[in-house]
Amino acid sequence: MNDVSLTIGIDPGSRITGYGLVERRGRDIVYVGSGIIKAGASGPIEGRLLTIKRELDRVIERYHPASLAVEEVFMAKNWKSTLTLGEVRGVVLLAAAEAGLAVYEYSPREVKSSVTGAGAAHKSQVAAMVARLMRLDHEPETEDETDAIAVAFCHTVRAAGVGGRLA
């Protein structure tokens, strides 16, 4: 395994998709950057998916990560939300494949456990630990951004030892 490895974590959403970049430098895990992709709350889904794809391509081109980590699909409140989330994940996986990135997926429980030590941690606990572990000098704009940093952190920790499942 290389001494330096950059991972982009993705928290997929049809309105807001979060991304977070974390780098392993030897034994240290370092925050590199993060943000959100706003696809909007209205308009046809295909237009929002195109926005997500184009913006994610720009982020990948800018940072050149070695791998992409994404949360697994979970059953949302209704089937339509679950289906839409799956469509967004498909766009994320396509962007990763086109860029030649290794793709890993983690359950929300795995992400929470790697960040807080507890798989049932509340989002506020995850956010507090992400800020502390990554020594963030700012508060992420949304939970989507925080969650994406947590996904990248999870993969970086697991890749150094336990390992994740290839998507």
Is it the case that residue 27 has pLDDT exceeding 90? no
pLDDT at 82: 82
* CATH 3.30.420.10 for domain 4-166: yes
Is 11 annotated in the active site? yes
Q: Are strands 4-11 and 67-71 parallel, antiparallel or unpaired?
A: parallel
Per the annotation, the verdict on 137 as an active-site residue is no
pLDDT of residue 4: 62
Catalytic-residue membership of 71: yes
Q: Which residues pair with 124 in a beta bridge?
A: none
pLDDT of residue 47: 95
* Residue 56 and residue 47 in contact, taking contact as beta carbons nearer than 8 Å: no
Q: In angstroms, how far is CA 20 from the centroid of its own chain?
A: 6
**Greater model confidence, 118 or 23:** 23
Single out the catalytic residue among 11, 105, 110, 143.
Answer: 11
Q: 0.75 cut: is pTM over it?
A: yes
pLDDT: is 117 or 132 the higher one?
A: 132
Residue in 143, 144, 145, 147 annotated catalytic: 144
Catalytic-role residue among 71, 105, 110, 143? 71
- Evaluate whether 159 touches 1 at the Cβ level (below 8 Å): yes
How many Å apart are CA 59 and CA 21, to the nearest integer?
A: 10
Coil, helix or strand at residue 26: coil
Cβ neighbours of residue 121 closer than 8 Å, sequence gap 6 or more: 112, 113, 115, 129
